[in-house]
């Protein structure tokens, strides 16, 4: 319960954490079943929370999906939550460009490559990056 009081956890993530702390696997499974029954742990809520958190941090959809997959959230849950929340990744990308580059992307090819690599490393797909760079005004 102490872990759940701090933030949402996914079922797999919570199970891993408890097993690492040395709890017996059977006890962990029973505890998680009880938490699921009482709706105290939910992959759906965890996914919503993580998407919103990462969106606000300036992470893109590729990175968010990767993190959720690593936390053990099923792909169909991620897809349904993404469809339900419909986060504005382009707005997040534009905000990141404004913050990181003060809205001024370099025209020099070598510098532009560095900027695109940075944005891609934050989890934004290349087609979205090029579209925003080409079409958006950052003022």
Q: What is the pLDDT of residues 24-54, one digit of tens each?
A: 989 989 989 998 899 888 999 999 999 999 9
pTM of this prediction exceeds 0.85: no
- State the pLDDT at residue 1: 65
Range of the domain at 121: 89-135
Residues in the chain: 139
When divided into structural domains, the chain yields a total of 2
Q: Do 46 and 80 sit in the same domain of this protein?
A: yes
Q: Do 64 and 93 sit in the same domain of this protein?
A: no
Q: Do 35 and 57 sit in the same domain of this protein?
A: yes
Q: Do 115 and 72 sit in the same domain of this protein?
A: no
Residue 102 has pLDDT above 90, yes or no: no
SS3 readout for the chain:
CHHHHHCCCCHHHHHHHHHHCCCCHHHHHHHHHHHHHCCCCCHHHHHHHHHHHHHHHCCCHHHHHHHHHHCCCCHHHHHHHHHHHCCCHHHHHHHHHHHHHCCCCCCCHHHHHHHHHHHHHCCCCHHHHHHHHHHCCCC
Q: Do 128 and 116 sit in the same domain of this protein?
A: yes
Q: What angle do CA 72, 96, 74 make, to 5 degrees?
A: 15
pLDDT band of 137, cuts 50, 70, 90: low
pLDDT in tens, 77-100: 999 999 999 999 999 999 999 999
Q: Do 111 and 69 sit in the same domain of this protein?
A: no
Q: Do 7 and 44 sit in the same domain of this protein?
A: yes
Q: Do 16 and 58 sit in the same domain of this protein?
A: yes
Q: Do 129 and 81 sit in the same domain of this protein?
A: no
- State the pLDDT at residue 69: 95
Q: Do 66 and 79 sit in the same domain of this protein?
A: yes
Q: Do 72 and 99 sit in the same domain of this protein?
A: no
Q: Do 99 and 79 sit in the same domain of this protein?
A: no
């Amino acid at each position: 319960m102490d872990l759940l009081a701090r933030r949402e956890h996914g079922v797999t993530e919570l199970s891993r954490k408890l097993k690492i702390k040395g709890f017996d696997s059977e006890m962990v499974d029973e505890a998680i079943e009880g938490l699921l029954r009482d709706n105290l742990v939910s992959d759906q809520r965890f996914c919503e929370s993580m998407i919103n958190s990462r969106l606000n941090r300036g992470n893109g959809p590729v990175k968010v999906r990767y993190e959720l997959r690593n936390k053990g959230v099923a792909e169909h849950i991620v897809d349904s939550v993404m469809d339900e929340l419909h986060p504005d990744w382009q707005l997040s990308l534009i905000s990141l460009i404004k913050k990181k580059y003060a809205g001024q992307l370099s025209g020099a090819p070598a510098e532009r490559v560095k900027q695109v690599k940075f944005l891609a490393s934050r989890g934004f797909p290349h087609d979205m990056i090029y579209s925003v760079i080409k079409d958006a005004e950052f003022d």
